[in-house]
Homo-oligomer: A and B are copies of this chain.
Amino acid sequence: MRLLYIDPVGADSVDPGMYDALLAAKGPQSEIEMVALPEGRPHHVEYHSYEAQVIADIVRITWHEAPAFDAIIIGCFYDVGLREAREVSGRAPVVAPCHSSSAIAAMLSQRFSVLVGRRKWISKMRENLLLYGHGERLASFRTMGMGVRDFQVDHELTCERLLEAGRAAIEEDGAEALILGCTAEFGFYSHMQEELGVPVLDPVISALKMAEMMAEAAARFDWLPSRVGASEGPPVDEVARRGFFGDSAPIGTRLAELAQPQ
């Protein structure tokens, strides 16, 4: 199965460690490509105005690349462009980290908390979780006072802050599971769940596993994205004729070669 992971930041900001994390977590039958956007795009999307700068790219990449993939993963915990990309993904299901990890958390616990970098992020994520139907299951958001670009700088510090926030969520807010609320928080879940004794969901891995499941379901059972009602996509000929999605996918870098040696 071929999976496409879209890291919605400029190519100059891609963290190869994230691709390693994907390779380490993938199933035996999966091949993963990870793409990022052209240089000059924001290096993080903490701000909604930054999200707005990358959503066209996400749609365009999906449009151009979907035919070559079995499922597509949007690599941002705001689940930016999920609805928009789903519309043009053809036969490929599209998944995203917040949706995927909250779905998994709901199977492992009654209530969960999300550990985020800054208060800024909460409103949009809460709105998403509400739309996904997790209003009652959301124990709390806990913030760490760190930006997206800080998590992978000083691992020890990040881990300490995550443990502190996670412990507070469990003890004070009644969380039974934790979700790391940013794809850049990769690499920490394992140590955390050992320390804290509750499942700690890495959103990158959650989305990957959901993508593999949906890709298999599409391939074997023809469970393809609906194309009626709100799920109707734009007319292919209109898009082609007027070129709304450009001539090619706006991809700044593509990590795929690394996969082969494995």
Contacts and interface: CB of A to CB of B under 8 A. Distances in A.
B107 A230 contact: no
A205 B189 contact: no
Contacts of A127: 131, 136
Contact of A243 (B40, B52, B136): B40
A231 B53 contact: no
A120 B232 contact: yes
A246 to B, nearest CB: 9
Interface stretch (A85-93, A154-162, A180-188): A85-93
Q: State the copy count for this chain.
A: 6
A75 interface: no
B209 A217 contact: yes
Interface in A178-220: 189-190, 193, 197-199, 201-202, 205, 209-210, 212-214, 216-217, 220
A223 B197 contact: no
B110 A230 contact: yes
A228 B174 CA distance: 9
Contact of A50 (B46, B224, B234): B234
Contact of A199 (B25, B48, B119, B224): B224
A53 B244 contact: yes
Interface in A72-124: 81, 83-85, 87-88, 93, 95, 99, 103-104, 106-111, 119-120, 122-124
Given A110-B231, A228-B198, A49 B245 contact: yes
A53 B245 contact: yes
Report, nearest first, the 9 A-B pairs whose CB atoms are least far apart: A133-B133, A123-B230, A109-B226, A176-B226, A110-B230, A52-B84, A47-B234, A52-B59, A176-B229
29 contacts: A25-B220, A40-B244, A42-B244, A43-B242, A46-B234, A47-B87, A48-B83, A48-B87, A52-B58, A53-B244, A93-B107, A99-B107, A108-B223, A108-B224, A108-B225, A109-B225, A110-B226, A111-B230, A122-B229, A122-B230, A130-B136, A133-B137, A189-B221, A193-B223, A197-B228, A198-B227, A199-B225, A202-B221, A212-B213
